[in-house]
Structures are given as C-alpha cells and as structure tokens.
Structure 1
Amino acid sequence: MSYPEHLVYPEPRYHGDKGEVNATFRTSSTPPDISSPGGSTRYLATNESTGGEFGLYKVELAARSAGAKTHFHKAMSESFYVLSGELELYNGEKWVTGREGDFLYVPVGGLHAFKNVTDEPMSMLMLFSPGGPREEYFEQVAEVAQRGGEELKQFRIRHDSYFVEDFESEAE
C-alpha cells in the first residue's frame, strides 16, 4: 500500500517536549456503573475523562432487551462493536445482525436503532465521537421513559437523541 508523501494530522494539542504521565486504567473487574434487569453499562471513557474527544461504553443487554428505537444524533457519531452474542442493528435502511467482531459506524445524522432479539445476553462497545455527557442519559432514560410524553421528548433532545417517534405527529 502506498501513502501520500505529505500526510495530514490534526494540529498538535500537546506542546511539551517530554510527554506526561496521565493515562487512566480500568480493570475488567470494575463493577458496572449502571445495572438493571435489562443489562448493564460500564463507563470506560467519558466526555469528562477524555476532554470531550469521545465516549466509550461497554453495554451488556439481557436476552430480549428492547435497546433503542430509531433515532439520530445531530452532534456526534455513534459506533457499535459486538463483543459477544448477537445484536440486531438498524443501519437506517434495514436491520442487520451483528455478531462477535462486527462493527457498525453511524455518522452524524444517521438513523439507527438496536435490540437484542435472541434468548441469550450480548455485549458490545458503544463509541460516541466527539464525546457527549451521556452518563445522565444512561442513568435516567428508563425513569423518564415511564413518564413519557413531552418530558421524554425534551430529555432526549437535551441529550442529542432525536427519536423518529417523537416527531412523527409533527410531520402529518
């Protein structure tokens, strides 16, 4: 494979000469940050811990978990990497089955959804770029969803999650 002679990298953001000791390490035995009967979420790298560069979350869904209905983001892309089990992923056009090692990248504005329709649990990595403060969304969405209506719609919008179902009646 040949590469252009002049590769273009982003502008440097670190201007020191010797580097810094600033890495973080999280062991696999760290308990989930959120647990529910439908699964668990581990905050591997948050908006805060990466300075807004990205957010990385390990999500485990129980068998027959609803996941998220069709939506899009206006400020960030979202990626899914299946670690184990199977996950139904909507790529904006059709549902595809993601299995161990499969990856789906959804650019900003791309319609997507996901759900576990199998009788087995599954595990995946979710990456948001740039990072947004997703933790409040993950921690409160189930509770706000029970109340529904305009409160749920505004909660979703506040968290850059535009669900198609929230705007269907407006299009008529």
Structure 2
Amino acid sequence: MSYLEYLEYPEPRYHSDRGEVNAVFRPADSPPDIVSPGASTHYLATNESTGGEFGLYRVELGAQSAGAKTHFHKAMSESFYILSGELELYNGERWVTGREGDFLYVPVGGLHAFKNVTDEPTSMLMLFSPGAPREEYFEHVAEMSQRGGEELERFRFRHDSYFVEDLKPEAE
C-alpha cells in the first residue's frame, strides 16, 4: 500500500503531549431541548460545547410540518442527514425527496429549504459549520414567525438566516 508523502492537515490547536479527559456523552434517550407544535429539537453539540467548531442538532418534524422556506446563510454551511421518514429538501434548483441515509450539504450562500409533506414524522440531523448560537433561533423562531413583519426580518438577519421572502429586489 502506498501513502501520499504530504497531507495537509489544519495547524494543531492542542499543544500538550498528553491527551485530556474532556469528551461529552449524550444518551439517545435524552429528552428534547425544545418541543414546539409539530417539532422537537435535541441539542447534540452546540456552538458553546464545541468551541464554535460546529453545531449538531437532531430535529424531529411531525407529519405535514412546514419546516423552513427558502433561505441562505452568509457565515455558515448547513447539512442535513435523514435518520428516518422522508423530507422534502430544496437544493437551490429543485425539490428532492430525502429518505433514511440521504445527505444534503449546503455551502455558505447556498439557497435551501425543507418541509415534511408526508403523513408520517421524520427525523434528521442538522449540522452547522462553523458553529453559531442557533439555540436562540430554535427557541424563538415560532414566536417570531407569529409576530411577522420587520421584527421577524431583524430576528432572521441577526441569526444569519436570509429568507428570499425578506430580501429587497436588487436595483437594476
């Protein structure tokens, strides 16, 4: 077997010659951190717990859940991994049906959306990289969506969520 002579890894961020005991375990039966009508969210790894490296969340959507309309992020990528059920995913060009084991990566600036149009629940992992304080977004998005208007728009922009419906037309 041959190996590449040079691999480019990131610069070390840990400089001790000994490892540390610092892993974090979350049992599968931990209750969700947020429960809202039609959805629940488990904070698996937050911006705070990963030192900003990434955020990982398990999201369970009920049947016929609206999900999120078309939007993009300026500061982070977002990935979706379907654990169970089916989820409609918008990849910036068209809607695709994600099923168990399917994965969608959305680079920074990539248009995307998701929704559950089935009569069955679905479960997915959402990964944000680098990490961002998404917990406040998840905890208040339903309330802010009910308020609507400029307050919702400011809330979305504050959380790096640029929904197409909020954007002003470009000057010609």
* TM-score for both structures, normalised by structure 1: 0.96
Residues 1-172 of structure 1 correspond to what in structure 2 (within 5 A)?
4-167=4-167, 169-171=168-170
* Structure 1 ranges of 4+ moved more than 2 A: 1-4, 169-172
Q: Percent identity?
A: 82
Task: Quote how far apart the aligned CAs of 1:75 are.
Answer: 0.2
Question: Partner amino acid for 2:74?
Answer: K
Whole-angstrom CA distance in 2 between matches of 1:101 and 1:143: 32
Q: C-alpha separation between the residues in 2 aligned to 1:56 and 1:31?
A: 16
- What SS class does the counterpart of residue 135 from structure 1 fall into? helix
Q: Per-residue deviation at 1:29?
A: 1.1
SS at match of 2:31: coil
Q: Give secondary structure in 2 for the equivalent of 1:144.
A: helix
What is the CA deviation profile of residues 124-153 of structure 1, one whole-angstrom value per residue up to 9, with x for unaligned ones?
000000000000000000001111011000
- Gaps of at least 5 residues in structure 2 are none
Aligned Cα RMSD in Å? 1.2
Q: Secondary structure at the match of 1:157?
A: helix
**2:27 alignment partner AA:** T
Cα shift at 1:2: 6.4
Number of positions where the alignment pairs a residue of Structure 1 with one of Structure 2: 171
Structure 1: runs of 5+ lacking an equivalent: none
TM-score of the superposition, structure 2-length normalised?
Answer: 0.96
Report the CA distance shift for 1:63/1:2 in structure 2 as closer, same or farther (over 3 A): farther
SS at match of 2:136: helix
Instruction: Write the distance in 2 (CA, Å) between the matches of 1:55 and 1:36.
Output: 20
Taking the aligned partners of 2:99 and 2:115, their CA distance within structure 1 comes to 13
